[in-house]
Amino acid sequence: MTTLKDNFFWGNSTSSMQTEGGWNEGGKGLSVYDVRPATEKTTDWHVAIDNFHDFDTDLDLMKEMGMNMYRFQISWSRVVPNGDGEFNEGGIEFYSRLIDGLIRRGIEPMVCLYHFDMPLALAEKYNGFLSRHVVDAFVRFSEEMIRRFSNRVKYWIVFNEHNLYFGPEAYTIAGYESGEKTLSELYTIFHHTVLAHCQISDFIHQSYEDVRIGGMLAHTEVYPASTSPVDNLAVRRFEEFLTYNLCDVYAWGHYSEAVLTFVKNHSIDMDWQEGDEKILKRGISDFISFSYYRSCLLDASKITENDSPNHYFEIGMKSDLSLPANEWGWTVDSVGFRNIISRLYSRYGLPVFPIENGIGQRENWDGINTIQDDVRIEYHKAHIQALKDAVELDGTEVLGYLGWGLIDIPSSHADMEKRYGAVYVNRGNHDLRDMKRAKKKSFGWFQRAFKSNGEKI
Ligand code: BG6
């Protein structure tokens, strides 16, 4: 008998550029993703799985699978084509229909407001989130979406994998086009995204009593590569910078002392302005959500005193070869998943919500036989069990469990060969084929798991 609450959320999670297509239709402006050329190994983002033209087929499948939540993204450039100008009513109408379609099927919508796809005009003109003008434009877009939809959308996320804006990927995902990539620039980008998150959070809390906003992290579980004190210290420093610094903002409205000390010692200019402290204080979140796929080891042997913990991942990350892994080297570690849920809850006391989890697999459909994705079933089974352990044995409060891309979508490296779905989408990287949906073996397994509220796994 599981103790998961009756209103526990089970569902799917996606981004707009990985699902919608319709990149130049319905008044949409260009985002930085729309102009990334396809390579031999990767597709472009122009079609994705074509939800712009038909989302009903996929919503029906989600309902059939027993889902009661879908986390999707509102694309900024679909709604404000150049990022800071006129609103595109056609784009807003598209999301309004999607939300209605979900509610009609008994599926609670969760909206994410930014998933790496900066409107191109703002990237080119202002260098993305390096500029406060872009922060203001993003807050304006976000508040308008909340005004329009909060009567129907009660769960909001601002930045997908927000802590990535504090690591080496920050420049690519923040719409940064040119510069020196100094620590001051990195910290400024991060600080600006935090200001945006906190202003939006405050806006929600001031205006709507029944609307919830969550912080969202990319959470890999990181273990020391050896028992040595230096490896342990490196892991702690890494977590302090990449996890706790942001969660401290979500839960307590301030940055970590360790990070602020680093800023002072290294004379980093993070564009801290008068009034920012107040914005952070007022920007508390209601829950902490995160993506989790795998665990890694951190080997401190190459890390020096001069290296910033923001870059430890690049310098010292290794795979734990004793764990099973997929073709891309992503380990399977459900214990790491339980550790994260329990640690976050124990430290912050806020409800925790894993909103991305899954395993990428290479799969080919012959057009007739069901794809036997037992590896995926085993992966989710172990992770749902770990979540239940975190609730039943560690006493955590968990709001739900969302799988990533449970209807196949291109992976974030735009490669259609790395699939996460319980439903196969019949397209390749360059060959769109017929885009038909075909249930894999895991579809029935998910259906039982979700409909039994996690009991039959
Ligand atoms: C998360 C992102 O990092 O992981 C998604 O939010 C991404 O956009 C997902 O698709 C899985 O990563 P990948 O590279 O396997 O697609």
- pLDDT (tens digit per residue) in 271-303: 999 999 999 999 999 999 999 999 999 999 999
pLDDT, mean of residues 355-373? 97
CATH, residue 221: 3.20.20.80
Q: Which two tokens stand for residue 267?
A: 């004379």
Out of 169, 296, 356, mutate this one to test ligand 1's pocket (max ligand atoms within 8 Å of CB): namely 356
Q: Is 2 part of any domain?
A: no
Task: Answer whether residue 435 is part of any domain.
Answer: yes
Task: State the pairing for strand pair 295-298/317-318.
Answer: antiparallel
How many Cβ atoms sit within 10 Å of the Cβ of residue 244? 21
Residue 456 within any structural domain of the chain: no
Domain range for 182 is 9-451
Is 356 catalytic? The answer is yes
Q: Measured at the alpha carbon of residue 340, what is the angle toward residues 337 and 344, in degrees to the nearest 5? A: 150
pLDDT tens-digit map of 117-142: 999 999 999 999 999 999 999 999 99
**Per-residue DSSP letters for 246-277?**
HHHHHHHSS--HHHHHHHHHTT------TTHH
pTM for this prediction: 0.98
User: What integer best gives the mean pLDDT of the chain?
Assistant: 97
Asked if residue 411 has its Cβ within 6 Å of ligand 1, the reply is yes
Task: Determine, yes or no, domain membership for 1.
Answer: no
Predicted local distance difference test score (pLDDT) of residue 441: 98
> Cα(246)–Cα(160) distance, rounded to whole angstroms?
13
Please determine, for residue 42, whether its predicted confidence score (pLDDT) is greater than 90: no
Query: What is the distance between the alpha carbons of residues 419 and 449, in angstroms, rounded to a whole number?
Result: 20
Mean pLDDT, rounded, for 253-281: 98
In the predicted structure, residue 334 carries a pLDDT above the cut 60: yes
Has 161 been annotated as catalytic? yes
Contact between 112 and 216 (Cβ < 8 Å):
yes
Exposure letters 247-278 (e unless 16+ CB within 10 A, then b): bbbbbebebbebbeebbeeeebebbeeeebee
Give the mean model confidence (pLDDT) for residues 106-112.
99
Stated as kind and residue range, the H or E segment containing 185 is helix 183-207
What does the alpha-carbon distance between residue 195 and residue 206 come to, in Å, rounded to a whole number?
Answer: 16
Residue 15 beta carbon below 6 angstroms from any ligand 1 atom: yes
**Which contacts qualify for 447-453: CB closer than 8 Å, 24 or more apart?**
447/64, 447/65, 447/66, 448/66, 449/10, 449/66, 449/380, 449/381, 449/384, 450/10, 450/65, 450/66, 450/67, 450/68, 451/66, 453/2, 453/4, 453/6, 453/8, 453/10
Task: Write down how long the chain is.
Answer: 457
Q: Which candidate in 108, 185, 239, 356 is catalytic?
A: 356
Residue 315 has a pLDDT of 97
What contacts 27, CB < 8 A, 6 or more positions away?
78, 81, 88, 90, 91
Residue 374's closest CA among 456, 445, 453? Answer: 445
Rounded to whole angstroms, the Cα distance separating 25 from 13 reads 23
Confidence of residue 1 (pLDDT cuts 50, 70, 90): low
- Calpha distance 337→380 (Å, rounded): 11
Percent pLDDT > 90 in the chain is: 96
Position 43 in a domain = yes
289 lines ligand 1 (CB under 6 A): no
Contact status, residue 55 vs residue 102, Cβ threshold 8 Å? no
Give the mean pLDDT of 362-370: 97
Set 161, 185, 221, 417: catalytic member:
161
Q: Would you state the pLDDT for residue 2?
A: 63
Whether 457 maps to a domain, the answer reads no
Position 242 scores a pLDDT of 98
Average pLDDT of the residues in 365-385:
98
Please state the atom number of ligand 1 nearest to the C-alpha of residue 161.
Answer: 6
If you take atom 4 of ligand 1, which residue's CA is the nearest one?
412
Percent share of the chain, pLDDT over 70: 100
Domain count along the chain? 1
Q: Confirm whether 4 is domain-assigned.
A: no
pLDDT greater than 90 at residue 168: yes
Determine the atom of ligand 1 nearest the C-alpha atom of 15: 8
In a domain, 130, yes or no: yes
